[in-house]
Amino acid sequence: MAIQQKDRARPAVPLNERLFRLDEAEGGIPVLLGWRCPDCGHHFFPHRTICPGCGHIGLEEVDLSRRGKVWTYTIAHQVPPGAIVEAPYVIARIELPEAVLVSSLITDCAPEEVRVGMEVEITPVKVREDEEGRDVLAFAFRPVKKPAKETKS
């Protein structure tokens, strides 16, 4: 389900440019666009104009972390009409280091492998092609790959 920039011959575009951008310097990895209050420092996703914590008007756009942890999740066994996923699939709330919760699909693992607290990272997911033949991408999260353990000689 997830794709990497090197797998794409054409440029790609984000499904929703208000939620994320594609970092071409990092291989087309999605970067979530968060908002930070300059007064109290709280972060938000998606876009807000007013900080609900302190009432400050005019938040700053910031890039959010690419990794987080599964805060909660559910396994869906039915697919709504027009969906790009097949059942069963996992919908999760991902807690980022900025104390922001992001709703997302979990990909690249079986639904029964997902656990609360599992480390995940953002990854691009192809939704469709646009009229110009470019891949239109959404974002999802996948488990962080653990480095292979070295064997003792």
- Residue 143 main-chain phi, psi, to 5 deg: -60, 140
pLDDT at residue 9 above 70? no
| Burial environment of residue 78 by CB neighbours within 10 A (0 to 12, 13 to 18, 19 or more) | exposed
Mean pLDDT of the chain: 89
Q: Can you give the residue ranges of every domain in the chain? A: 5-143
Q: ∠140-114-16 over CA atoms, to 5°?
A: 10
The kind and range of the H/E element at 139 are strand 135-143
11-20, 57-66, 73-82, 122-131: which range is least confident on average?
11-20
Please report which confidence band the pLDDT of residue 2 belongs to, taking 50, 70 and 90 as the band edges. low
- The alpha carbon dihedral of 99, 105, 107, 113 has a sign of positive
Gap between the Cα atoms of 69 and 93, Å rounded: 9
Greater pLDDT, 108 or 12:
108
pTM: 0.84
Residue located via tokens 């996923």: 85
Question: Which pLDDT belongs to residue 78?
Answer: 94
Please report which confidence band the pLDDT of residue 8 belongs to, taking 50, 70 and 90 as the band edges. very low
Distances (CA, A) of 43 to 14, 77, 104, 121: 22, 33, 18, 19
Q: What is the mean pLDDT of residues 69-87?
A: 92
Greater pLDDT, 20 or 5:
20
Task: State the maximum Cα–Cα separation within the chain, in Å, rounded to a whole number.
Answer: 61
